[in-house]
Structure 1
Amino acid sequence: MADYAAVKGGKLKLKGLKLKKSKKHKSHKRKHDGEPVEQKSDHKLDIQKHGGWWEVKKFSEIPSNVAIEVGDNCYITALDNGGIAVGTPRDEGDGPDPAEIFTLIKVSETKVAFKSGYGKYLSVESDGKVVGRSEAMGPREQFEPVFQDGKVALNGCNNCFVSCDDEGDIECVSRTAGRGEMVRLRSNANTERDPLEDIPKEERGSLKSSEINYVKKFQSFQDRRLRVSEVDKTQLKKAKKEGDFHETLLDRREKMKADRYCK
Structure 2
Amino acid sequence: MAEYSNVKSGKLVLKGEKTGSHKKRKHKKQNRDKEDMPVKDEDALKHGGWWKVKQIEEMTGSIAVEFGNQTYVKALDNGLFTLGAPHSEELKVACAGEGPSPEEVLTAFNVNDVKVALKSGYGKYLRVDKDGAVTGRSDAVGPMEQWEPIFQDGKLALLGCNGCFMSVAPDDDSVVATSKKVGSDEIVKVRSHAVKEVTPGSKLPEEEKGSLAQVEVNYVRKFQKFQDKKLRVNRSDRSELEQARQEGNLHEALLDRRSKMKADRYCK
- TM-score, structure 2 length as denominator? 0.57
Structure 1 residue 49: deviation in Å?
0.5
Question: Residues 134 and 177 of structure 2 are in contact (CA less than 8 Å); yes or no, is this contact kept in structure 1?
Answer: yes
Offset from partner CA, 1:115-143 (integer Å, 9 cap, x none): 01100011100010001111121111111
2:88 equivalent to 1:91 = yes
Q: Specify which of 228, 241, 244 is matched with residue 198 of structure 1.
A: 244
Distance 1:42 1:178, change over 3 A: farther
Q: C-alpha distance in 2, partners of 1:104/1:170?
A: 17
Match of 2:130?
126
Structure 1 residue 81: deviation in Å?
1.1
Match of 2:178?
173
Match of 1:55?
52
Secondary structure of 2:71 counterpart: coil
Distance 1:44 1:138, change over 3 A: same
Q: Specify which of 78, 103, 113 is matched with residue 107 of structure 2.
A: 103
Q: One-letter code of the match for 2:85?
A: T
Alignment of 1:95-244 (within 5 A): 95-166=99-170, 167-193=172-198, 197-198=243-244
Count of residue correspondences: 163
Question: Residues 60 and 110 of structure 2 are in contact (CA less than 8 Å); yes or no, is this contact kept in structure 1?
Answer: no
RMSD of aligned alpha carbons: 2.4
Structure 1 residue 63: deviation in Å?
2.4
Secondary structure of 2:151 counterpart: strand
Q: One-letter code of the match for 1:175?
A: K
Q: C-alpha distance in 2, partners of 1:199/1:151?
A: 32
Secondary structure of 1:133 counterpart: strand
Q: C-alpha distance in 2, partners of 1:53/1:108?
A: 24
Q: Which has the higher contact order (CA 8 A, sep 6+)?
A: 2
Q: One-letter code of the match for 2:152?
A: Q
Distance 1:42 1:72, change over 3 A: farther
Structure 1 residue 198: deviation in Å?
2.9
Offset from partner CA, 1:235-256 (integer Å, 9 cap, x none): xxxxxxxxxxxxxxxxxxxxxx
Identity of aligned residues (%): 46
- TM-score, structure 1 length as denominator? 0.58
The gaps in structure 2 that reach 5 residues or longer are 1-37, 90-96, 205-241, 249-268
Q: C-alpha distance in 1, partners of 2:190/2:181?
A: 19
Q: Specify which of 67, 71, 74 is matched with residue 74 of structure 1.
A: 71
Larger Cα Rg: Structure 1 or Structure 2?
Answer: 1
